[in-house]
A = this chain, B = another copy of it.
Amino acid sequence: MYRDRIRLETLWGKVMSAEEAALSIRDGMVIGMSGFTRAGDAKEVPVALAERARRDPLRITLMTGASLGNDIDKTLSEANVIARRMPFQADPALRRRINDGEVMFIDQHLSETVEQLRARQLRPVDIAVVEATAINEKGGIVPTTSVGNAASFAVLAEKVIVEINMTMPQELEGLHDIYFPSRRPYREPLGVMRPSDRIGLPYVPIDPQKIIGIVITSKADSPSRIEPPDEDTAAIAGHLLEFLDHEVREARLSPSLMPLQAGIGSIANAVLHGFTESRFSNLTMYSEVLQDSTISLLDSGRLVFASGSSMTLSKPLYERVLGDIGRYRDRLVLRPQEISNHPEIVRRLGIIGINTALEADIYGNVNSTHVGGTHMMNGIGGSGDFARNGHLSVFVTKSLAKGGKISSIVPMVSHVDHTEHDVDVIVTERGLADLRGLAPRERAALVIDNCAHPLYRDALRDYFNEAARSRGGQTPHLIEQALSWHARLRENGSMQG
């Protein structure tokens, strides 16, 4: 059994239980696990590890690609296994521990983690635990629904545990393009010049002697939980599409635009869905997460190719795509997140990046991570890789949250993840502000008029006018009141005066 999945005979004896494999993981180790936004995570070993830790406590540094599915971050953090975590997460139980200061969370640009590992700026990975569709004749690992950082973890780690996932069709082989930048300072250019360019191998090449255990699983990926488009997200999509249409009419973009990137989540997904009804054609994506909307766009014929680092789909789409992967395989590629998000390629291709803001301020700074300036939501993810280096950096958000108690447009954001230098366009359901080539005072007028909700518009205008009148400056602020909206929310449960 499993021989078609483990095609290197010398590895047949390495099949073991998750419990046995997990025994190699010891207190204080750095563990690199596969998994990117719920796709392709290792599903058995972490659960066995948590089980063991309940009897025999241990704590590790856990590195992944991005967030995990199957409640793995929850299970591990409830068993108190995670001492340190990077570079992204999205689990409520883990989030609580991070915000309580019990787990040290290092929130990184997703393109940078393995660059820092390779340069030994981070502690080396002791053991990689990676999900695979198969191990090929050479001992190379064929990934599943994501690559993330798993390929680099496997190559850089001293030891590798592989989880073979029997639910993954073997036809996934050939979907991946695994390439590692050569070591600096003698690095060659990365050869990706179009989203469809393949520059590497369809498997992760490692020394098979590093494989210390192979675990078999039949657990599926957790499906994505995407809320259907609502009136607000549809309005956001409408404003952005109208803007892009205008860019085409002005001949700043062709009807195939530039390669698209869209962040994870309901708003960005809804915006991409909007393209299905658009007049754009021959679209391409060069993104990190391929969501339901990517598949709809491929099916509609508007999108001709999508490059990503993971496929994170709802249950019906997951079944449709995995059940008929041959239909999609020549229009999709999954790459290491270092490559999907690489500044060199993002700048060269001229990507249009569409990412979600928690809040934006009137001058164009964006907070993507910290609720109230203090509490971590998920992490910056890849938004910075795209916003800094692409052709157009778009941030989307609903203008209100918590039934109007929170304005997503504020005088000053309480945490900055994207600076005023990196934000080209802000879109809410109220409208769109094109900030390109504008000074902060000009941006403020546009953001207030076009993006803020009428509930807060006057207060924002009053703040700006008073700051400009009494204080002046490139970026007028009443510094003692700049964060008063957040303080009011904390005290009174609402930003409203």
Contact = CB atoms under 8 A, between A and B. Distances in A.
Interface of A: 84, 86, 98-101, 104-109, 115-116, 119-123, 184-191, 193-194, 250-252, 258-259, 342-344, 347-350, 365, 369-370, 372-376, 380, 384, 388-389, 391-392, 414-421, 424, 436-439, 441-442, 467-468, 471-477, 479-480, 482-484, 486-487, 490
18 contacts: A106-B439, A108-B421, A109-B388, A119-B252, A119-B350, A184-B348, A343-B343, A343-B389, A370-B474, A373-B477, A373-B482, A374-B475, A374-B477, A375-B472, A479-B483, A480-B484, A480-B490, A483-B483
A184 B421 contact: no
B388 A343 contact: yes
A84 to B, nearest CB: 7
A415 B26 CA distance: 43
A191 to B, nearest CB: 7
Which 3 interchain pairs have the tightest Cβ spacing?
A374-B473, A189-B189, A376-B474
A259 B167 CA distance: 48
A374 B467 CA distance: 9
A256 to B, nearest CB: 9
A420 B367 CA distance: 12
A108 B477 CA distance: 20
A2 to B, nearest CB: 38
Chain A binding surface SS class: loop
Contact of A104 (B188, B344, B438, B490): B438
Contact of A189 (B184, B191, B391, B437): B191
A471 B424 CA distance: 33
B252 A120 contact: yes
A479 B414 contact: yes
B391 A388 contact: no
Nearest to A467: B374
A414 to B, nearest CB: 6
